[in-house]
Structure 1
Amino acid sequence: MLTVDFDRLAIARGSRVIDVGAGAGRHSFEAFRRGADVIAFDQDAAELAGVATMFEAMVEAGEVPEHASARTVCGDALALPFPDHDFDVVIASEILEHVPRDTDAIAELVRVLKPGGTLVVTVPRWLPERVCWLLSTEYHSNEGGHVRIYKADQLRAKITHRGLRFVHDAHAHALHVPYWWLKCAVGVSNTEHVLVRAYHRLLVWDMMSKPAATRIAESLLDPLLGKSVALYFQKPVVSLVEA
């Protein structure tokens, strides 16, 4: 389940892509399939071990071009261990809402992006996220949980302040919103509730089968109720002086 629209990233042979906060690797895998040289970056070594195993499986299954490469790096998003202007594409999907010092993380994302490169950031959308917070303290108060709710224009301003040019926004995963509202209403850890289990089965069926009816429904609902907002930026070829 991708939150990022890869058709907007112009990934080509030799493109260097870093997926910051890669988690289980969903965006890293797609970049690898498209022929990029990929780094899946995260602070969770256990998650990255699974990502590395999947990278190897993808190569063995012939799912990636021979020229593509992929590896994992464990570290801190506030101090990315890479030189300035190192990547053509920087992805930060569903990570900034977890980071107390988000402006420092944004500075790092911008620093490692090449002039002319693309940064895409996704975060939970304000309204669906606000409802989740109102319904459940457990949803956001756990260790490593969400520390803020973004409004898209506020996040956009934080990133353009660093000299990037905003180019596009989009919303995704509207069908997932009722699922999370249900979970928050009955208890986030109550995975056996009959309504939660039923909706989860629906989501799994939808992701596996991709029926036209639900794809059309979600595309129509995303602008109104999409759970995530994705913001796309480009770094000017002539870097702006940071304030």
Structure 2
Amino acid sequence: MNLTALSEIVHCQNCGEALLKANDEITELKCENCEQSYPVKKGVPVFLSETDYEKSAETAIHKEQGSVFNYVDHYQKDGVESDYFRERDAGTTHLDKRVHQTIFSHIEKKSGRVLDVGCGRAWVAQKLCPLNFEVVSMDISLENTTGALERYPYPNHAAVVADVFSLPFNEGVFDYIIASEIIEHVVDPVKFVANLIKVLKPGGKLIITTPYKEKLSYSLCIHCNKLTPLHAHIHSFDENILTSLYKGDDLKSCAYHTFANKLPIHLRMHSVLRFFNFWCWKTFDGLLNRIIKKPIRILVKWEKAEI
């Protein structure tokens, strides 16, 4: 998915016109209407302005502490300081694999355009690009998006640096949107879901996973001596909260299911369970959750109505 193809589904954030063209050197996208330009770094258009880095938001914890959250600046720095492509421990790798497999089990079409929100390690592109899907890896971090393209340089793979709260995409352009382990970090979950559903095609699906009924933990920051949530998780969700986030007239359905029982994780059973194929693992996990109802993940799928 080259810049020409990508420019067909994005618009200028200054004037709103879908008239962005790449220059000959492919170093910027420029709006032919208002002449606003967006830099292209290592093949990745950056749809963040100087003012975006100064954006502040207040969540419940920030209101309690009288502080603000410059989330764009935070996740830009997070991308620099954290190596999302590093090798992880076996337990985390196994859980990630099962989360990813659960998401992919909801991808019913044989092809289509997919937006990966908060792409991190770009596992969506790694899996779906070889299957003939067009994938757009999106992240606030330039390191994650450029790393995604470097590792998975498929012709049907593109990446953008952008913020869900100021999306550069035209409405109705994606068949699937995947946001895995992201919503617990965002400042406004209601707006997060609504903005993503806008850019879904009619009949498209938004798939979100997040920790289930997570008990948020805090540590004392050595810089400001205030409590800060571990892993930057600022929300905890259950099925009632998640399914209530969007009730628009264009919604066809909203469904959820919980999975990934806590017991095998605490018993470090991944050394055995890693040999199970997905459907065997899913059956085992489902039976275990009927006996000991302790799932630690939830998947919610919103389907947009056909016109």
CA distance in 2, matches of 1:94, 1:37: 22
Measured on the aligned residues, the alpha-carbon RMSD in Å equals 3.0
Describe the superposition over 1:69-126 as per-residue Cα deviations: whole angstroms up to 9, x where unpaired.
Answer: 1122111111111100010111111111101122221121011001111111111111
Describe the superposition over 1:22-64 as per-residue Cα deviations: whole angstroms up to 9, x where unpaired.
Answer: 11122332222322000011112222233222213xx5xxxxx
Q: Does 1:8 align with 2:113?
A: no
CA distance in 2, matches of 1:95, 1:162: 25
Tell me the residue number matched to 2:208: 121
More helix by share: 1
Count of aligned pairs between the two proteins? 200
Query: Helix, strand or coil for the counterpart of 2:132?
Result: coil
Which letter maps to 1:24? R
Tell me the residue number matched to 2:156: 69
Superposed displacement of residue 162, structure 1: 6.3
Taking the TM superposition and a 5 Å limit, the aligned residue runs for 1:211-222 are: 215=281, 216-222=283-289
Q: In the alignment, which of 264, 275, 294 is matched to residue 225 of structure 1?
A: 294
Scaled by the length of structure 1, the TM-score of the pair is: 0.70
Tell me the residue number matched to 1:237: 306
More strand by share: 2
Tell me the residue number matched to 1:44: 141
Q: In the alignment, which of 33, 52, 56 is matched to residue 130 of structure 2?
A: 33
Contact 1:115 1:237 in 2 (8 A): yes
CA distance in 2, matches of 1:2, 1:72: 25
Contact 1:11 1:31 in 2 (8 A): no
Describe the superposition over 1:182-230 as per-residue Cα deviations: whole angstroms up to 9, x where unpaired.
Answer: xxxxxxxxxxxxxxxx94xx536644x3379x82533423562222100
Taking the TM superposition and a 5 Å limit, the aligned residue runs for 1:102-181 are: 102-126=189-213, 129-130=214-215, 133=216, 136-138=217-219, 141-142=228-229, 145-161=232-248, 163-175=250-262, 178-179=265-266
CA distance in 1, matches of 2:177, 2:146: 21
Taking the TM superposition and a 5 Å limit, the aligned residue runs for 1:82-101 are: 82-101=169-188
Q: Taking structure 1 as reference, are residues 151 and 171 closer, same or farther at Cα in structure 2, changes over 3 Å only?
A: closer
Which letter maps to 1:231? V
Which ranges of 4 or more aligned residues in structure 1 deviate by more than 6 Å?
Answer: none
Q: Which runs of 5+ in 2 are unaligned?
A: 1-96, 221-226
Which stretch shows the higher mean deviation, 102-111 or 3-12?
A: 3-12
Q: Taking structure 1 as reference, are residues 107 and 211 closer, same or farther at Cα in structure 2, changes over 3 Å only?
A: closer
Scaled by the length of structure 2, the TM-score of the pair is: 0.57
Q: Taking structure 1 as reference, are residues 120 and 176 closer, same or farther at Cα in structure 2, changes over 3 Å only?
A: farther
CA distance in 2, matches of 1:83, 1:144: 32
Query: Helix, strand or coil for the counterpart of 1:160?
Result: coil
Tell me the residue number matched to 1:195: none
Query: Helix, strand or coil for the counterpart of 1:159?
Result: coil
Q: Which runs of 5+ in 1 are unaligned?
A: 60-67, 180-197, 239-243
Which stretch shows the higher mean deviation, 76-85 or 166-175?
A: 166-175
CA distance in 2, matches of 1:176, 1:45: 37
Contact 1:156 1:166 in 2 (8 A): no
Tell me the residue number matched to 1:78: 165
Query: Helix, strand or coil for the counterpart of 1:141?
Result: strand
Superposed displacement of residue 5, structure 1: 3.1
CA distance in 1, matches of 2:237, 2:229: 18
Q: Taking structure 1 as reference, are residues 222 and 159 closer, same or farther at Cα in structure 2, changes over 3 Å only?
A: farther
Contact 1:18 1:39 in 2 (8 A): yes
Superposed displacement of residue 6, structure 1: 2.0
Q: Taking structure 1 as reference, are residues 205 and 52 closer, same or farther at Cα in structure 2, changes over 3 Å only?
A: farther
Tell me the residue number matched to 1:22: 119
Q: Taking structure 1 as reference, are residues 162 and 101 closer, same or farther at Cα in structure 2, changes over 3 Å only?
A: farther
Query: Helix, strand or coil for the counterpart of 1:158?
Result: coil
CA distance in 2, matches of 1:75, 1:144: 21
